Amino acid sequence: MRFGVIIFPGSNCDHDAYWAIAEVAKQPVTFLWHDSPDLQGCDAIIVPGGFAYGDYLRTGAIAKFSPVMESVRNFVAEGGLVLGICNGFQILCEAGLLPGALMRNAGLKYVCKPVHIRVESTNTPFTQQLTRGEVLEIPIGHMEGNYFCDEPTLAELNDQDRIIFRYTTSEGEVTADANPNGSLDNIAGICNEGRNVLGMMPHPERAADVLMGSTDGRVILESMVHSLVAAAA
């Protein structure tokens, strides 16, 4: 199997994601250039964090027009796995592959720190190696991580078990103090209806090795690998 990591002008976590796939998940991985529609036969795509196109218009709003994103839309429609991390989550929302939008943090400040997130669903290829209710410690680093959607969309996300992660205390309690950015309903990650697209603000690639202070993020990558192996069997 083969992973692809998209590079946009302004991406700054592409090499981190590449390293995590190559050195931790031990899978073949290649970079995918934003200006090319060629996904190079990849079986899973990672849309990494950073500041695509400088976020000059709105986070992810320019990146959604990149040639590679049209190919990603087709890839998703065919059942391909796509993980959007931080700015990647923002891009997926702008591209219409996930509902809602990411707004400025409630405190209007850039926030970079480890946070705790609770696994709300294991019914995805990204979380099937985890346990529902399990609490992970994974870093965030963003200015626009405040997830928002309208009430019907929120009800749909809840009814369809599509809220995958929520910000919590280390004990797994959903509280206002545990919410680092004002995100609606403490949402830290969601999936699409097909459950093959996951967007999350925390950076699992920054919690993939003991030297980083946490290995909690590596299970998300390993879940993707297990899912791809099972699908190919």
Tell whether the model's pLDDT for residue 147 goes beyond 90: yes
| Cα 218 to Cα 207: distance, rounded to the nearest angstrom | 7
191 catalytic per annotation: no
CB 180 within 8 A of CB 141: no
The DSSP output letter for 153 is: H
What is the rounded average pLDDT for all residues in the chain?
Answer: 96
Return the pLDDT at 58. Answer: 81
Q: Which of 94, 120, 144, 205 is the catalytic position? A: 205
Looking from the CA of 9 toward its CB, the CA atoms found within 13 Å total 10
34 catalytic per annotation: no
Q: Which of 34, 116, 142, 203 is the catalytic position? A: 203
Q: Which of 42, 86, 93, 149 is the catalytic position? A: 86
- 49 pLDDT band, cuts 50/70/90, is very high
Q: What is the pTM of this model?
A: 0.96
Return the pLDDT at 112. Answer: 97
23 catalytic per annotation: no
| Domain span holding position 72 | 3-232
Q: Give backbone dihedrals phi and psi of 113, rounded to 5 degrees, phi first.
A: -170, 160
How many domains does the chain contain in total? 1
